[in-house]
Amino acid sequence: MDTAENRRSIIVGVFVLLGVSVFVIGVLTLGGQQKSFVKSIHISSVFNDVSGLKKGNNVWFSGVKVGTIKNIHFTGPSQVDVIMSIDASTQQYIHRNAGVRISSDGFIGNKIIVIDGGSPQAPMVRDGDVLQSEKLLSTDDIMKTLQQNNQNLLAITTDFKSLSHQILAGKGTVGALLADSTMGNQLKQTMRNLQAATQNAANMSSQLNNFSNKMNTKGGFADNLLTDTVTFNRIRASVSRLKEAADNATILTDNLNKASNKLNSTDNIMGVLLNDPKGAAKVQSTLDYLQQSTVKLNDDLEAVQHSFLLKGFFKKREKAKQDSIKKAM
């Protein structure tokens, strides 16, 4: 009997040991999930509607579970304060300007808190900080928006149905274009012309841009003309001289025209010589007579020099001439 009692005691001890082991393992597991044995800080956020969020739900940051919901309580009308327990090791990554929103763990899972955003320039959160909450779009709001969208879609489809009937009936510009092939071809040609005009305008704009760049080239003629007052004054002076030369050329041309008119007229010697053959012949004959008279006069003067009456006079004049030449030498 002692043996049976000992065996029973051993069995009871084994079961007790197994129960204690299971209890300890469960506590450690649940504590790990709830982060009960991890150093943490507490932050909070105030919501108008927590949409079924419960104490113990998880808190996520950048897709990582960083804490749990510690407490939920009212702070005023439609004001719900949610206190979160956050793992202190993740504190350095969460900043004070981060936003807090309520989401779901999966499509129909439990509600969770998600911490979003926050710039690295902002200071990191500290124990007791309150983060800004983001409005959660409720199911009712979603259904209202969906209903409004359905009504808008119904109105659009109704209008389009009426419009499509009018188009098929050939009403309006679009209907006329679809029903009248000639008008459609004219519209195509118009669009081609418009495209060509647009291309030409683009080309002209590019050419004007290139011309403007050349005009603005430093040191170029246009740049000097527009910016160098000395060059501009020189060009203006050159233009003035060119105008003066043109005026002189005009006067010269007028004078030449007058001279030409006189040459074409018979009221002067040159005009007679050029335009009156008879007068020119008379002038020529007169010149011939003058030449013959000159020859005869020379002969007469030669004869006078050899005349005995004047021979002494000419000899004296010749001797005086020779004496003056010698004195000069």
Q: Does a structural domain hold residue 177?
A: no
Same domain (yes/no): 132, 221: no
Distance of CA 317 to the CA centre of its chain: 104
Same domain (yes/no): 282, 259: no
Same domain (yes/no): 72, 103: yes
Q: Does a structural domain hold residue 289?
A: yes
Q: Does a structural domain hold residue 162?
A: no
Q: Does a structural domain hold residue 23?
A: no
Q: Does a structural domain hold residue 203?
A: no
Q: Does a structural domain hold residue 11?
A: no
Same domain (yes/no): 292, 222: no
Torsion angle defined by CA atoms of residues 217, 221, 223 and 227, in that order, rounded to the nearest 10 degrees = 160
Domain boundary residue, one of 92, 118, 137: 137
User: What pLDDT, on the 0 to 100 scale, is given for residue 176?
Assistant: 61
User: What pLDDT, on the 0 to 100 scale, is given for residue 78?
Assistant: 82
User: What pLDDT, on the 0 to 100 scale, is given for residue 41?
Assistant: 93
Same domain (yes/no): 40, 112: yes
Same domain (yes/no): 43, 93: yes
Same domain (yes/no): 55, 90: yes
- The count of structural domains within the chain is 3
Question: What is the domain extent for residue 291?
Answer: 269-299
Distance CA 23, CA 188 (A): 84
Category of 57 on φ-ψ map: left (φ > 0), alpha (ψ -120 to 50) or beta: beta
Q: Does a structural domain hold residue 159?
A: no
Q: Does a structural domain hold residue 155?
A: no
User: What pLDDT, on the 0 to 100 scale, is given for residue 87?
Assistant: 93
Same domain (yes/no): 294, 229: no
User: What pLDDT, on the 0 to 100 scale, is given for residue 125?
Assistant: 92
Same domain (yes/no): 244, 294: no
User: What pLDDT, on the 0 to 100 scale, is given for residue 220?
Assistant: 62
User: What pLDDT, on the 0 to 100 scale, is given for residue 130?
Assistant: 93
SS3 147: helix
- The model carries a pTM of 0.37
Q: Could you tell me the CA-to-CA distances from 274 to 254, 258, 262, 282 in Å, in that order?
A: 21, 15, 10, 13
Could you tell me which residues come within 8 angstroms of residue 98 by beta carbon, excluding any fewer than 6 positions away? 115, 116, 117, 118, 125, 131, 132
Q: What is the pLDDT of residues 235-250, one digit of tens each?
A: 777 778 878 877 877 8
Same domain (yes/no): 256, 275: no
User: What pLDDT, on the 0 to 100 scale, is given for residue 237?
Assistant: 79
Q: What is the pLDDT of residues 157-195, one digit of tens each?
A: 787 777 666 666 666 666 665 666 676 677 677 778 888
pLDDT < 70: residue spans in the chain: 1-4, 24, 26-38, 107-108, 136-142, 163-181, 183-184, 187, 212, 214-228, 230-232, 259-260, 262-276, 279-280, 283, 299-314, 329
Distance CA 125, CA 98 (A): 9
Distance CA 39, CA 87 (A): 6
Same domain (yes/no): 277, 256: no
| Percent residues over pLDDT 90 in the chain | 17
Same domain (yes/no): 221, 287: no
